[in-house]
Structure 1
Amino acid sequence: MKKIYFLFAVLSAFVLRAQDSGKFRTDIELGYAIQSGANGYLFSIEPKFNIAEDMNVGLRITSTYFNTSVFDPAYLEQSDVNSGSIAVGGTFDYYFDDLTGGSFTPYAGAGLQYSVLSNDYTNDAEGKFGGLVRAGFEWGKLRVGAEYNVIPNSNYSDFYGTGTAYNATNSYIGITVGVFIGGGRW
């Protein structure tokens, strides 16, 4: 009977999951980004601090790249445009580990961010405040998620001197896969 209790205690140590409050961790994620009329990629790194067993706050740094097609008023044709952004912002995540009780843990989060946007159709970079909402799961040290980044649209004037402007959609959906390092016992 003692062997059964010992086996149960050892298995529980591997299955039980909780963040250690007061510990740091860092998420590193790569993803596929979908924007209105464009597809691209994203990379993010996010140092976090566990404020409680099921909650953490972080500083997220994200870089995105998109390739899209816009109407070029100088040549009266569609042109490919490369665009990108770098965003920095604060985040909050809540983990629902009470629902699963194991190494699989769903999470939901939100944040505020400042994005610097640019593209190869204009000479000007533009900064915008926005936000994000996200949800996903962690399994062991693997992190998989979906996010919606809300960034206000931009109006750009071309650098051909025609004064013609076009409207760029900046909000995007990201599907990410990554790992995290640190964070205490998970």
Structure 2
Amino acid sequence: MKKLITVFILSLLAFTAYSQQADRFRFQMDLGAAAPKGGGIGALVNFEPQILVQRNLALGLRFGVAGLAKDIVYYDIPKDFTGEISANTSFSGTANYYFNYKKGKAAPYVGAGFGYYTFSSVNIESTDIDPDDIGNLRASFAWAPMVRAGVELGKFRIGAEYNFVPKSDLQNIAGEVIGQSTNEYFGFTLGFFVGGGRWGRFQ
């Protein structure tokens, strides 16, 4: 987690130094609801500096945090249990293309990204399993793609995204694999940005 934050800060400084041209640099933040594949609920927040490399093309670095409550599979018992995944983090390179031709302030967009996802500890909530038999569960990390689409209205954003994060094994304190977690999730976001990209009068 600390390494991810350090990399993000250094990358942000590099972006800022590279993008001193007027209206080239922007910073956006998105908040939203998350829906894990297979059922469950959650919330997410994304921070993303971007550089407008062309009129309608932005490259960025997204730092995201998602908290998910979802079903997991525990191998020793033939049913699913609710497990709470707290503060999953991701760090992804992104690209957004905006469909705007100086016809107003609305700018529909499509985008994609690829990055590094980490998974925090998992808490099993079940009366059928003794917590002392499980220990401190840990999930692994993964590299994964993301796709998204939405529209920007002035300086505000409405979007949807899907993170194709692969399944991860759950281990006990002895390192034995005792379960599996599905990590893919859909997000619906609302946000805003500051900086370049004034769509009615793009420079």
Short-chain TM bin: 0.7 to 0.9
1:96 paired residue number: 99
Q: Which amino acid aligns with 2:90?
A: A
Structure 1 gaps of 5+ residues are 1-19
RMSD: 2.5
Distance in 2 (CA, whole Å) between partners of 1:50 and 1:118 is: 33
8 Å Cα contact 2:140-2:169 kept in structure 1: no
Change (3 A) 1:97 1:81: same
Alignment: residue pair count:
165
Distance 1:168 1:78 in 2: 10
Query: CA contact under 8 A between 1:21 and 1:50: conserved in structure 2?
Result: no
Aligned to 2:143: 129
Q: How does 1:148-167 map to 2 (within 5 A)?
A: 148-159=162-173, 163=176, 165-167=178-180
Q: Partners in 2 of 1:130 and 1:39 — Cα distance?
A: 21
Contact 1:29 1:176 in 2 (8 A): yes
- Normalising by structure 1, what TM-score? 0.78
Residue of structure 1 aligned with 2:49, choices 33, 47, 52: 47
Instruction: Between 175-184 and 132-141, report the one with greater CA deviation.
Output: 175-184
Going from structure 1 to structure 2, the CA distance change for 1:152 and 1:21 (only over 3 Å counts) comes to farther
Query: What are the Cα deviations for residues 27-67 of structure 1, in whole angstroms up to 9, with x where unaligned?
Result: 10001111122210000000000001100100000000011
Q: CA deviation at 1:126?
A: 1.7
Question: Residues of 1 paired with 2:175 and 2:119: CA distance?
Answer: 22
Q: CA deviation at 1:120?
A: 2.4
Deviation at 1:69, TM superposition (A): 3.9
- Which residue identity lines up with residue 95 of structure 2 in the other structure? F
Bigger proportion of residues as strand: 1
Decide which structure has the larger Cα Rg and report it: 1
**Per-residue deviation at 1:76?**
8.2
SS for the counterpart of 2:186 is strand
Q: 1:58, 1:24 → 2: CA distance?
A: 10
In structure 2, do the counterparts of structure 1 residues 78 and 170 end up closer, same or farther at CA, with 3 Å as the change threshold?
A: closer
Secondary structure at the counterpart of residue 170 of structure 1: coil
In 2: Cα distance, 1:50 partner to 1:162 partner? 45
TM-score (norm 2): 0.72
Identity of paired residues, percent?
Answer: 33
CA displacement at 1:93 relative to structure 2? 0.4
Residue in 2 aligned with 1:170? 183
C-alpha separation in 1, matches of 2:54 and 2:60: 13
Match for residue 119 of structure 1? 121
1:94–1:75 CA distance, 2 compared to 1 (3 A): closer
- Say which of 138, 152, 155 aligns to 1:138: 152
Give the aligned partner of residue 12 of structure 2: none
Q: Which amino acid aligns with 2:154?
A: G
2:171 maps to a residue whose letter is S
**CA deviations over 1:119-155 (Å, ceiling 9, x no partner):** 3244434210001011000001110101111111111
